[in-house]
Amino acid sequence: MRLPQIHNRMTLFWVVAAFALTIPWFTWSRLEPLRGLFEARTARVPSQDTQVAPSDLPRTPGTFEEAKRVLYDQVYRDRRLTFYCGCTYSGRRVDLASCGLQPRKNVDRAARLEAEHVFPAHQFGQFRQCWREPICRKPSGGSYKGRKCCEETDAVFRTAHNDLMNLYPAEGEVNGDRSNYSWGMVPGEKRVYGQCNMEVDSSIRRAEPPENIMGDIARTMFYMEATYGFKLSDQDRKLFDAWNKMDPPDEWERSRNERIKKIQGRGNSFIENYPAMIVSSSGR
Ligand SMILES: [Ca+2]
């Protein structure tokens, strides 16, 4: 009499187990669109754990504090205009009325001037050892990883992080909203910053800049790839090729490049050789 009882219990166990496993499988299989989105997101950012010989690196400022000072006081010494919305600024405060910029939520940060990384530090840092593993030691004995650790230990990261070519004076809240999202086209024409034509969609982690700086952004991204070996995805390359053609370098973009070249010893060939570089950048 005991054997059939055990048999029945085992059967019941397997029936329940199979049923329990079916629920997550069924749910996952129904989420095809979400899964595709997740895969697309992870595929959009290729690994950036590159190494460049120290002699091949530009002479960028040694710290981020120094980079900001040089950016504001030297490169933009007579050009007090923010990157995204074209507002005037004085000291470290943005004049919101000068460009019709409406704060979305954070009034104080909206008017704060910040240095924006066009190629986000998170995107070129996240694959590096110093970002992922706690290889840095505190004097007190603990360990840490991430941006600070990379700035201290990784010459390629530090040089790229402080590269003035990749830094632009931007409006604090817009900079914060852009976060480390990729550049792209955002469906619709949402206007959440008043007259400023910057669109950020956190649901697809994407930001669309105003048209007059699309080319500036594309050439900055090409420069970061060429200088540090940070790879652009095929999708990004197509987008930036289009932006590069649509918005050629203007007088200010060329002057900015010359000023930074004097400081760092190297210019952006995608600006200097425009439009010759279009062919080589799109042909890869
Ligand atoms: Ca432009």
DSSP code of 179? T
Burial class of residue 133 (count of CB atoms within 10 Å of its CB; 0-12, 13-18, 19+): exposed
Distance 88 CA to ligand 1 centre (A): 17
DSSP code of 112? B
Distances (CA, A) of 284 to 222, 237, 281: 12, 9, 6
Distance 214 CA to ligand 1 centre (A): 6
Distance CA 191, CA 194 (A): 6
Block residue for tokens 């062919």? 279
pLDDT given at position 33 = 39
Q: Quick one: which of 224, 201, 212 has its CA closest to 83?
A: 212
Are residues 196 and 100 in contact, defined by beta-carbon separation less than 8 angstroms? yes
Are residues 260 and 227 in contact, defined by beta-carbon separation less than 8 angstroms? no
pLDDT given at position 30 = 45
Distance CA 209, CA 156 (A): 27
Distance 229 CA to ligand 1 centre (A): 24
Block residue for tokens 């002479």? 59
Distance 241 CA to ligand 1 centre (A): 14
142: Cα separation from own chain's centroid: 29
Q: What's 65-117 look like in SS3?
A: HHHHHHHHHHHCCCCCECCCCCCEEECCEECHHHCCECCCCCHHHHCEEEEEE
Token code pair at residue 2 = 């005991």
250: Cα separation from own chain's centroid: 23
Token code pair at residue 284 = 């890869």
pLDDT given at position 276 = 83
pLDDT given at position 133 = 96
pLDDT given at position 216 = 98
pLDDT given at position 32 = 38
CA 207, 211, 216, 222 torsion: positive or negative? positive
Distance 274 CA to ligand 1 centre (A): 13
3-class DSSP state of 127: coil
pLDDT given at position 15 = 65
Q: How far apart are the first and last CA of the chain?
A: 75
pLDDT given at position 42 = 39
pLDDT given at position 235 = 94
Distance 200 CA to ligand 1 centre (A): 19
pLDDT given at position 54 = 85
**pLDDT tens digits for the chain (284 residues)?**
454 555 567 677 676 766 676 655 555 444 433 443 443 443 355 667 778 888 899 999 999 999 999 999 999 999 999 999 999 999 999 999 999 999 999 999 999 999 999 999 999 999 999 999 999 999 999 999 999 999 999 999 999 999 999 999 999 999 999 999 999 999 998 889 999 999 999 999 999 999 999 999 999 999 999 999 999 999 999 999 999 999 999 999 999 999 999 999 999 999 999 988 776 554 44
Distance CA 239, CA 231 (A): 14
Distance 251 CA to ligand 1 centre (A): 9
144: Cα separation from own chain's centroid: 22
Distance CA 112, CA 135 (A): 33
Distance CA 251, CA 271 (A): 11
With residue 169 as reference, give the H or E element that holds it.
strand 167-171
Distance 252 CA to ligand 1 centre (A): 9
Distance 52 CA to ligand 1 centre (A): 29
3-class DSSP state of 120: coil
Distance CA 197, CA 186 (A): 12
